[in-house]
Amino acid sequence: MDRSVRANGAKIIPTLPIAMAHNAAARERIAHLASLSARFCFAALIVAPMRLRWTIAARPFEPLFREYTDLFLYASDLFLIATLFFWLAALALAPRALTIQPRAQTFLVAVFTIVAVIGISSSIDAPITIYHAARLALLAVLYFFVVNEIRSFSFFALPLAIQVAMQSVIAFAQVILQHSIGWQSIGELALDPAQSGISIVLTDGARILRAYGLTDHPNILGGALAFGLLALATIFLNEQSRRARAGLGAICTLGCAALFFTFSRAAWLAFGIANIFYFGFLLITRQKTSARTLGMLWAIALLFIAPLIIYNARSVSARLNGDNSLAEIWTEARSLAERATINRAVIDTILNSKLPFWGVGVGALPRALMENNPQLDSYFQPAHIALLNAFAETGWLGGSLYAALLAAPFILLWRTRARIIFSPTLCGASALLIAIMIVGLFDYYTWLLAPGRLWQWIAWGVWAFIYRDAMLIRMEN
C-alpha cells in the first residue's frame, strides 16, 4: 500500500523545501563524519611505524641500493591516502571556501609541486620520478588539509606522544640488548652490530649499536625524535592540566634519552640550535614565563639522562672528534669522506651545462650519478645536503623554489613582525622548521625519504595555520 495515501484516500505530497532540507541535513552529517574520519586517519599517519612498508615494484639496478630504485608503499601512505580521500569527500558533500593563507608560502608549495611533476619529462629514470612526483603531489594536498582542517597545535599531542614513546622504548631495548628485538613484522630492521652496513659507534675496539627504533637509520630516528620533542615541548607550554604536563614531561625525558642513543650528530645539533632559537624567540617577544618553563623542561630531562651521558662518554667522544676520532676511527673517517665525495659529485652535476632545465628527475639522482660517474669512489646516493638534491633533481628553477620555501616562513615573520602575535606556539613551530632545515644541511631524508618528507610538509602546513591565526588575532585586537 502507498504510504503517502491517507485513510480517506488523499495523498500527502511532501513539499520540495522540506525534502531538500532533509537531504541537506543528511549530507551535512555524512560530511561531518567524513571530516572526523580524515582527522583520525591523519593522527594514525603520525603514529604509524615509519619503516613498515611493502614493495610494489622491485627494480634492481646494481650497485644502487634498492631504497633508491624500488617502489614502496608505506603504512603511512595508506593513512595519507585515506586522510585525503575522506577530506575531499567531506568537501564534495559540503562545499566551502578553502584558505590559501599565507599566500606566498602556498604559492611556492603549488608551483614547486608543478615543477617536480613536469620534471618527469626530462628524468633519467621516468618510473622513479613518476613515483616520487606523485608522492610530492599527495604531500602538497596534505599541506592544504593541515592549513584548512587542523584548528589547534594540541591536536598533535596524543599521536606525537605515542610516536615518541613507542620509538623511544624500542630504541632503549635495541641499545640494551645490542640487537633488534624481533619486531620485523612492523618494520624493524634485523640489527647486528657485527654485520657490515649496520650503523655503530666504534669505541675502544667495541662495536656499539646505535638506536634505530622503527626507522631505516639512527639519523632518521634522531631527526624524528628531535622534531617530535620540539613539538611536544610547544604543547607542554600551552597545557594547563598538571597531569597532562607531567605525562608530556615524562615522554620528553624518555625521548631525550632515546635521542642521545641515536648518536646522531645532526639531530643533536638541530635539537640544540632550534632550542636556542626557541628561547631567543620567547625572550625577544617578552614571554619570559614560557622561556623559563621551557628551560625547566629540558633541565629536568638533562638531569635524568646525565648518568647515561657520563656512562657513554667514550662513545660521545668518538662521535664528537675526541682524540681526533673523526680521522683516527676508520668508520667515522670513511663516512665523512663518502659524504664529501658525494656532495662534490652532486655539485658537479648541478653546474654541468648538460643538466636538463627540469633537473634529472625527483628521486633519479643516484642513477644519474651512477651513469655519469661510474668510477665514483663512494656509494651512489643523494648528497647529504637536501638543497643540493633539490637543485640537481628539479633544476635551477625547482631548487630555487625549494630554497624559497625553506626561507619563506622567516621572511614572512620579519616582514610582518609588527602585525602578528608571537605566541609560544608560533615560536615553537618556527623552531621546528629551523630544526628540519639544520638536519637538511647534513642529511637528505627530509628531501627524499617518506618519514623526512612527512615532517617537512606537515611542519610547513602547521606553521602556516599558526601564522595565519596569529595575524587574525592581531587584527581582531
Q: Is the pLDDT of residue 4 over 50?
A: no
11 — pLDDT class (breaks 50, 70, 90): low
pLDDT of residue 335: 86
Angle between the N-to-C axes of helices 242-261 and 218-238, in degrees from 0 to 180, rounded to the nearest 10:
160
DSSP code string of 178-190: TS--S-GGGT---
Which grid coordinates belong to 246? 607531567
Q: Is the pLDDT of residue 305 over 60?
A: yes
Q: Which of 4, 32, 42, 18 is nearest to 141 (CA)?
A: 42
Query: Looking at per-residue confidence, does 15 or 383 come out higher?
Result: 383
Q: Is the pLDDT of residue 3 over 50?
A: no
Q: Is the pLDDT of residue 19 over 80?
A: no
Residues 234-251 have a mean pLDDT of 96
pLDDT of residue 324: 84
Residues, the chain? 477
Q: Is the pLDDT of residue 9 over 70?
A: no
Tens digit of each residue's pLDDT (9 = 90 or more) over 332-369: 888 889 999 999 999 999 998 889 999 999 999 999 99
Q: What's at 89, amino acid-wise?
A: A
DSSP code string of 167-221: HHHHHHHHHHHTS--S-GGGT-----TTSTTS-EEEETTEEEEPP-TTSSSHHHH
**Contact assessment for residue 264 and residue 213, using Cβ atoms and an 8 Å cutoff:** no
Residues 367-382 have a mean pLDDT of 92
pLDDT of residue 79: 98
* 3-class DSSP assignment, residue 53: strand
Which grid coordinates belong to 84? 585525503
**Contact assessment for residue 269 and residue 320, using Cβ atoms and an 8 Å cutoff:** no
- What's the chain's average pLDDT? 93
Cis, bond preceding 102 (omega within 30 deg of 0): yes
Cα distance from N-terminal residue to C-terminal residue, the chain? 64
Q: What's at 152, amino acid-wise?
A: S
Cα angle 118, 370, 115 (rounded to 5 degrees) comes to: 10
474 — pLDDT class (breaks 50, 70, 90): low
**Contact assessment for residue 186 and residue 52, using Cβ atoms and an 8 Å cutoff:** yes
- Kindly report the backbone phi and psi dihedral angles of residue 72, in degrees, each rounded to the nearest multiple of 5, phi listed first: -115, 150
Rg (CA), the chain: 25
Q: Is the pLDDT of residue 94 over 60?
A: yes
Q: Is the pLDDT of residue 123 over 50?
A: yes
Beta bridge partners of 206: 203
pLDDT of residue 475: 59
1 — pLDDT class (breaks 50, 70, 90): very low
Tens digit of each residue's pLDDT (9 = 90 or more) over 192-218: 999 989 999 998 889 999 999 999 999
Q: Is the pLDDT of residue 378 over 90?
A: no
pLDDT of residue 251: 98
Residues 217-227 have a mean pLDDT of 98
pLDDT of residue 328: 78
Beta bridge partners of 53: 74
Tens digit of each residue's pLDDT (9 = 90 or more) over 257-281: 999 999 999 999 999 999 999 999 9
Tens digit of each residue's pLDDT (9 = 90 or more) over 36-48: 999 999 999 999 9
Q: Is the pLDDT of residue 371 over 70?
A: yes
Tens digit of each residue's pLDDT (9 = 90 or more) over 147-195: 999 989 999 999 999 999 999 999 999 999 999 999 999 999 999 999 9
